[in-house]
Structure 1
Amino acid sequence: MVKAPVAGRVKTRLGRDIGAIPATWWFRHQVTRLLREVDDPRWRTVLAVAPDTALHARFWPAHFPRVSQGRGDLGARMARLLRLPHPGPVCLVGGDIPSLSAAHISHAFAALGGNDFIFGPATDGGFWLAGLRHPSLAPAGLFSGVDWSTATALNDSLKTLAGRRVQLADRLSDVDRAADL
């Protein structure tokens, strides 16, 4: 899941600390690095782009298929993406996780062989990955009532999955503020 690297529209909390232009520069280069890392023949990498108007922008590498994230809060957009028809398990990751590697993605897909969901906990209480074995397993209230960008985002999300088999992946850090850099 990526946002168009437009100053003042991406990494706004980081931008408040270091300025909108440096935050946008960091994000653009981080996403470029991340896409190189996760471009792997073991899975199909698709860019889920926001806003919709940036779907066909030239700054995305041409060989990656793209879908729109659509409208709504982060939870509504993630739930929509997880429910899209797909032939196998799907994992969503953000573009702001510097230590994310292909090995983390591989581990997540392997874990979905015996679990319904997988989450990659973030050090700030949120998560860097949400994965689902099959779209039919996504409950109607998936990600409802989650207090996004808080220390309770992961726990709030897990509450929407009562009774499902959920695995947790490695804990990684995302970058939201200057201190995270």
Structure 2
Amino acid sequence: MRGTVIIFVKAPVAGRVKTRLGADIGFGRAAALFRVLMQRTMMQSVKGGWRTMLAVDPPAATHLSAQFWPPHVARMPQGPGDLGQRMARAFENAPPGPVIIIGADAPGLRARHLRQAFGALNGADAVFGPAVDGGYWLVGLNRRRAAPDLFNGVRWSTKYALKDTLKTLPSSFAVRMLETLADVDEVKDLSIIGAAASAH
């Protein structure tokens, strides 16, 4: 069954994206950087046999013009709630088959990582791409079994995010891990972008 990759994005508007980074380098520059990261992520995410979708925040931004979003990629609103509630909703509303959710701020992401994730879901219930900071840049479910408590009580934007999420999965779930990547949230992370570009 065909899988789906859902990219979680915010409207790339100054003051709405990468606010921690923007506090140091300026919100306009941070928004421009996010647009670059989003374009890189999109380029990698359409290189497979899976379908690719955008989950957009705020919901009204779903209808913005192609200057923000690629016209050939389907969009859905993230909706209300914390990150866990929004991701859970995306899993519920996605087309049938395995689903992978990624962000747009891991410069090292390549199409091969998505292929690896779908491959892992052939024999596992869930797959994660750990991030250097203790969070994760990818989460995927094969959706053959329910995970009713998924994301409940996760301490988002902390070093405990991955550990907390694993605790919300049913104990019988088989879980696979991909390689650890870094994402860009603060000034100290900017060197990641150049390193990722030169490594591939």
- AA of the residue aligned to 2:165: S
Q: Is the 8 A contact 1:83 1:138 kept in 2?
A: no
SS of corresponding position for 1:46 = strand
Give 1:90's aligned residue: 99
Aligned: 1:156 with 2:164: yes
Within 2, Cα distance between the matches of 1:42 and 1:85?
16
Q: 1:119 touches 1:130 (CA, 8 Å); kept in 2?
A: yes
* 1:146 aligned partner: 154
Worse-superposed segment, 102-111 or 136-145: 136-145
Check if 1:5 corresponds to 2:5: no
User: CA shift at 1:108, angstroms?
Assistant: 0.2
Partner of 1:171: 180
CA distance in 1, matches of 2:174, 2:52: 25
1:15 counterpart (22, 26, 34) = 22
Change in Cα spacing, 1:29 to 1:130, as seen in structure 2 (3 Å) is same
Q: What does residue 111 of structure 2 align with?
A: 102
Long gaps (5+) in structure 2: 1-7, 191-200
CA–CA distance in structure 2, aligned partners of residues 172 and 41 of structure 1: 20
RMSD (Å) for aligned C-alpha atoms: 1.1
* Partners of 1:52 and 1:69 within 8 A in 2: yes
SS of the equivalent of 1:118 reads strand
SS across alignment from 2:151: coil
Matches of 2:94 and 2:103, distance apart in 1:
20
Match of 1:129 among 138, 141, 146: 138
Query: Structure 1 residue 85: deviation in Å?
Result: 4.4
Q: 1:38 aligns with which of 31, 41, 45?
A: 45
Q: TM-score when scaled to structure 2?
A: 0.87
Asked if the contact 1:50/1:70 (under 8 Å) is kept, the reply is: yes
Which residue among 58, 62, 66 is the counterpart of 1:55? Answer: 62
Looking at structure 2, the residues matched to 107 and 144 of structure 1 have their Cα atoms a distance apart, in angstroms, of: 27
User: Could you tell me whether the CA contact under 8 Å between 1:93 and 1:130 is conserved in 2?
Assistant: yes
Shift of 1:14: 1.0
Instruction: Tell me how far apart the structure 1 counterparts of residues 184 and 145 of structure 2 sit (CA, whole Å).
Output: 30
Give secondary structure in 2 for the equivalent of 1:70.
coil
Count of matched residue positions in the alignment of Structure 1 and Structure 2: 180
Partner of 1:92, secondary structure, is: strand
- Percent sequence identity over matched residues? 52
Q: Where do 4+ consecutive residues of structure 1 move more than 4 Å?
A: none
